[in-house]
A and B are shown apart, each in its own frame.
Chain A
Amino acid sequence: MKAVTSRASSAMGEGIRALSALLEARTGQVLSQDRQWRAETALQPVLRAHGLSDVEVLAAHLARHRDMRLEAQVVDALLNNESSFFRDHQVFEMIRGQVLPDIRARRADRRLRIWSAGCSTGQEAYSLAIQLCNDAENWRGWRIEILATDISATAIHRARGGIFPQMDVQRGLPVNDLIQWFEPVAEGWRAHGRLRGMIDFRQDNLLDPQAPCGPYDLLLCRNVMLYFAQERRGRMFDLLKRHSHEDSVLLLGAGETAIGHGEPFVAHPDFRGAYRLPSCARGPARFPLRRA
């Protein structure tokens, strides 16, 4: 995972630098140089809505007035919300074919708890809900909880609505799942009530989390830490650790790793690319587990 430091902002204009500092303070996300040009574009709707001529004026306005609403809008606009259904096909194949069956074999109390941290508009959580529904027979009698959190109010609002434009559903979502679990609406496709009802979408900041209530069996924090400064990543792993138990499985994004942060997590021996707590940190199970 590439180290992102605030120094990346050294070549930015004064305005963008101030807004980027705001973004980092609120979310931990560092605006790297290659994302600067996108930032200017992303801020255009905010500028228009407030009748501000450019980014410099916006930054100056925020420096003078304590305008929390505008600040929140700026932060929201600067976040990278990119996501897709079954993002990284192999990872979801592994979840379906190995991780979920393994959890099912272990949890004698028939409880499955999943946390999608930094869920954006919900594709990750919906992908998991689809997998569980497609395998409903095997999950009969289970209590299933999926918590999906993101700092972006806009993203969470869209995730709850469950409406995705054509371009979003056709990126990664198999056609059979589209037919079975979505209905066409004017704006695109809407996830069935059964899927929407399975996921608890909450606006929540990973820097000051209120929503998670672990431990979770499966934790996904994918493509979120990529733009965190190194020391924040360490704190993020501590957070994920606090919400894990001895058999929890942690999944990160393709360009992210838990290695090099004081080993809060180690490579999972059974699941490629996944992580788990190291054996020394794995205390006694806090619920009935079936032992092989």
Chain B
Amino acid sequence: MKNCLVVDDSKVIRKVARHMLESLDLSVREAVDGQDALTQCEASSPDVVLLDWNMPVMSGMEFLQALPGANIAARPKIIFCTTENGVGHIKAAVEAGADEYVMKPFDRETLESKLAIVGVI
């Protein structure tokens, strides 16, 4: 079973994402910010990370920048989640290393299509 790390400071969003991901047969772990996510990735790297943009302590962007220097067995695929759909914003995320991008709120089908694009399902 593939593993997904949901990184979001909102408990509600983590819960909704967990529900969708579990229904797609993924096992789910949660992190509350980028720093927490980095620690968890170092402990055991997930197949895919669903990454929020705005978070306290360490933002999604800072997480992406820290990822190459972290001690992670295999680089997970990154699906970036944001509330902004400006093209500059999307390009910045992709340039920083995000594999996919999804705007909140998203539904199960959308998430499923993104997981298929990054090759996780």
Contacts and interface: CB of A to CB of B under 8 A. Distances in A.
A175 B110 CA distance: 12
B113 A86 contact: yes
Interface stretch (B5-13, B47-55, B60-68, B86-94): B86-94
B35 to A, nearest CB: 25
A110 to B, nearest CB: 31
Given A179-B87, A184-B86, A184-B87, A171 B113 contact: yes
A175 B101 contact: yes
Nearest to B121: A89
A84 interface: yes
B116 interface: yes
B102 interface: yes
Interface string A83-100: 010100110000000000
A167 B109 CA distance: 11
Interface in B36-58: none
Contacts of A184: 85-87
Contacts of A175: 90, 94, 98-101
Contacts of A167: 110
A262 B114 CA distance: 38
Nearest to B87: A184
A174 B79 CA distance: 11
Contacts of B94: 175-176, 179
B70 interface: no
Given A175-B90, A175-B100, A179-B90, A166 B85 contact: yes
A90 B117 CA distance: 9
A260 B45 CA distance: 48
A179 B98 CA distance: 13
Given A89-B116, A175-B101, A179-B91, A170 B110 contact: yes
A89 B110 contact: no
A172 interface: yes
B103 interface: yes
B100 A174 contact: yes
Contacts of B109: 84, 171
B102 A170 contact: yes
A89 B100 contact: no
B97 to A, nearest CB: 12
A127 to B, nearest CB: 12
A89 B117 contact: yes
Interface string B18-29: 000000000000
A175 B85 CA distance: 11
Nearest to A87: B113
Nearest to B98: A175
Nearest to A188: B85
A172 B113 contact: yes
A166 B110 CA distance: 11
A178 B89 CA distance: 13
Contact of B103 (A90, A170, A174, A179): A170
B106 A170 contact: yes
Given A171-B113, A179-B87, 4 more contacts: A175-B94, A179-B90, A179-B91, A184-B86
Interface of B: 85-87, 90-91, 94, 98-103, 106, 109-110, 113-114, 116-117
10 contacts: A86-B117, A89-B117, A166-B103, A167-B110, A170-B101, A174-B100, A178-B90, A179-B87, A179-B91, A183-B87
